[in-house]
């Protein structure tokens, strides 16, 4: 019997999506179980990490698992003719899993199919739209993406902001993209949203993974450098992925407990003991994710 916790951020890849990646001969693609991308070293994918039955049983407290396509693959940035088969495979895959699984839709950045997105968001197994942080890297880029975000807003569905592809960094260790590139992308997206997002999309619920790279903790520096006052937005959330007690404590101090949602980033990371107590744990794992996905009436 599964519990009531909701994990808004995992990366199990359904079979149709795996097959579509294996049919490709240019990045991103799978050669057997070895993943090749344009910006990072080849990565050995573990088959067990994409076994839906196994993964559904990893945490008995979690009753709903929301899957995100990995934006660092760069699929959203491919030409439409290349992106479309992969996106179709992703959406078919997440809708076919059943059980505790739901998923985030994804959209090509060039020539986005907004009508198709609206149809996807009408499916109860598709909780909202995932976008790459690189697509929100500046206020101007956020404005260009706003028509896609507006489709989610009109449907009453949230948006998940996830790190995107990176450029190769010569001589850097394997952890470099996750610790340096991903965090800096999330910082840029967070502050671009703070500058321009709410004025463009007044009702959109939005969640930044990995605590927005701890960007909210920098509100003091923002104020000292002329940014003005920092106000907590009740429709903006951050997930817990890759952070533990220190990081989550800092985020709670900056945003309050209501903004924090469970996101493990499995299989690349896992749940952590956040040390926040039983009431806070219930908020982070159940109340807040439900409010992110369903709105204030949840």
Domain that holds residue 229: 5-294
pLDDT band at 228 (very low <50, low <70, confident <90, very high): confident
- The backbone region for 202, taken as left when phi is positive above 0, alpha when psi lies in -120 to 50, beta otherwise, is alpha
Token readout for 223 is 């104020």
CATH number of the domain at 137, please: 3.20.20.140
Rounded CA-CA distance 268/122 in Å is 30
Number of domain units in the chain: 1
Band (pLDDT 50/70/90 cuts) for residue 272 is confident
Over residues 150-168, the mean pLDDT reads: 95
Q: What does the block give as tokens for 20?
A: 């579509």
Confidence of residue 4 (pLDDT cuts 50, 70, 90): confident
State the chain's mean pLDDT as an integer: 93
Total-model pTM: 0.95
Residue 73's contacts (CB-CB under 8 Å, 6 or more residues apart) are: 28, 37, 165
Q: How far apart are CA 52 and CA 66, in angstroms?
A: 12
Cα–Cα dist 108/15, whole Å = 21
7 strand-pairing partners: 65
Give the end-to-end CA distance of the chain in Å, rounded to a whole number: 22
Instruction: Answer whether residue 150 shows pLDDT above 50.
Output: yes
Q: How confident is the model at residue 297, as a pLDDT?
A: 55
Token readout for 167 is 């450029």
Q: What percent of the chain has pLDDT over 70?
A: 98
Predicted confidence band of residue 1 (pLDDT cuts 50, 70, 90): very low
Contact 236, 204 (CB under 8 A): no
């Amino acid at each position: 019997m599964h519990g009531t916790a909701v994990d808004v951020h995992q990366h199990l890849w359904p079979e149709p999506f795996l097959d579509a990646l294996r049919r490709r001969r240019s990045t991103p693609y799978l050669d057997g179980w070895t993943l090749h991308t344009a910006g990072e070293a080849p990565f050995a994918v573990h088959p067990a990490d994409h076994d839906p039955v196994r993964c559904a049983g990893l945490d008995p407290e979690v009753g709903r698992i929301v899957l995100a396509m990995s934006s660092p693959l760069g699929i959203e940035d491919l030409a439409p003719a290349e992106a479309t088969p992969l996106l179709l495979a992703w959406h078919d895959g997440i809708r076919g899993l059943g059980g505790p699984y739901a998923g985030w839709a994804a959209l090509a950045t060039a020539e986005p199919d907004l009508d198709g997105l609206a149809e996807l968001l009408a499916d109860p197994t598709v909780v909202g739209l995932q976008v790459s942080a690189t697509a929100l890297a500046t206020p101007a880029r956020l404005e260009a993406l706003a028509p896609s975000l507006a489709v989610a807003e009109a449907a009453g569905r949230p948006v998940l902001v996830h790190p995107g592809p990176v450029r190769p960094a010569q001589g850097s260790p394997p952890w470099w993209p996750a610790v340096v590139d991903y965090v800096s992308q999330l910082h840029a997206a967070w502050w671009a949203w703070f500058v321009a997002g709410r004025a463009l999309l007044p009702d959109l619920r939005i969640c930044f993974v990995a605590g927005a790279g701890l960007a909210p903790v920098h509100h003091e520096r923002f104020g000292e450098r002329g940014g003005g006052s920092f106000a907590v937005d009740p429709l903006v959330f951050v997930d817990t992925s890759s952070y533990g007690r220190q990081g989550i404590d800092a985020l709670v101090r900056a945003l309050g407990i209501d903004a924090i949602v469970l996101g493990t980033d499995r299989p690349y990371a896992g749940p952590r003991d956040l040390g926040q107590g039983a009431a806070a744990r219930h908020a982070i794992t159940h109340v807040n994710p439900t409010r992110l996905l369903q709105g204030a009436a949840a």
